[in-house]
Structure 1
């Protein structure tokens, strides 16, 4: 009788354990979730806006992709002699009338 109760108890606890969904452990440092889109990545390191990094023979600066959008995404751009970002020339837009 005791063996039967023990087997039933073990089976019911195993079934309860198997039916519980497993939750992943997610650890986020302070500010990481909010600032994840406001960084430039290079060699698995995060850089903030204005950071200048030597990439090969050229220097690159982490700058806004669209200067008119202060909360927009950041990208790596080439720099001039004064350290200012060199934005690519805008392509002519085609309009159909």
Structure 2
């Protein structure tokens, strides 16, 4: 089991890709996998994301407490930026 912080990081990184590429089935499948890890292994719920000019903030409930983690935007947006800079390497293939 990875740490909660690592799982939140992985989920958030792919979630912002999904938000920008709603037809990307691989990203959607990966986001669901990480979301399931958060809910099943780490037992968190009520996840909400906000961002400002520098950070992403992930609010969630765990053990009946409201908690928050933060991540620098430059780290979270690396994958999205890479996809946007080289779209030919990240073609979304339709499902058969």
With the length of structure 2 as denominator, give the TM-score of the two structures. 0.23
- The structure where helix makes up a greater share of residues is 2
